[in-house]
Amino acid sequence: MTSEPAATHPVVRLLAVGAVCLVLLGLAVPVGLRATAAVTAARFLAEFLTEGRRPWLSSVTPAPSRETLTLAPAGRADLWRPGTPPPHRGLVLVHGLTPEGKDDPRLAWAARLLARAGLAVLVPDLPAMRSQRLRPDDAAVVAGAITRLAADPRIHPGGLAVVAVSVGAAPALAAAGEAAAARHVRLVVALGGYADARELVRYFTTGHYAFGEVSGRVRHDPALAQAFVAANLDLVRD
């Protein structure tokens, strides 16, 4: 996977996702069920933050199911359903730059654990992100995932959450702003996203970063930078 900014350092990401899930589980349910949701959230956090070394949630919940769906107008996605009776709250989980896309082992593990927590998790496969290309086409895939999950009769009608990791924030936010998908979205959370595409490209290619008074440089594997440039050469003007 291409190197990512410090904001997406594994520890930071784990804490951020844990906080997000605590909100989703604790606040997106009726008041009478929030105590149960809080316990589930605590079990989720313990297992997630220890990367499975403390399986406090998996040990007390049924295994979720995994189904690969075809999206309209084009695309594929994996739907992870809880092993408990429906309806379930829906969540669309959007990956960042990774050649494995929806099949990234870390992403699949997170989706499976979220499903154990009671969420139906749809993970779309983004072709441009898989090939390390920053393109608006991926937004259509995310929008298709949102409308597909919202149309599922086993999903709670109260609206979906969209959680995007790293540069996956761009297609996620663009999709959530489209009229067909926006009416189904209750919450969008971007973890380690970016505010300026030019700065993002500068970081990936040179390791330099700057935001306000904060600046610096990290060392990249030259092969990763070269791969990113090669994948996006069509954007370079003659």
Asked if 128 contacts 94 with a C-beta cutoff of 8 angstroms, the reply is: no
Pairwise CA distance, residues 151 & 158, whole Å: 12
The pLDDT of residue 33 is: 64
| pLDDT range class, residue 65, cuts 50, 70, 90 | very high
- ∠68-70-75 over CA atoms, to 5°? 110
Domains of the chain by residue range: 6-194, 195-238
Band of pLDDT at residue 9, cut at 50, 70 and 90: very low
- pLDDT (mean) for 2-17: 46
Amino acid at 65: S
- C-alpha span between 204 and 221 (Å, rounded): 10
- Considering the four listed CATH numbers 3.40.30, 2.60.40, 1.10.3470, 3.40.50, the one that applies to the domain covering 6-194 is 3.40.50
Higher pLDDT, 121 or 38: 121
Q: Judging by DSSP bridges, how do beta strands 65-70 and 76-81 pair with one another?
A: antiparallel
CB atoms within 10 A of CB 162: 28
189 touches 180 (CB < 8 A):
no
pLDDT band at 49 (very low <50, low <70, confident <90, very high): confident
pTM of the model: 0.85
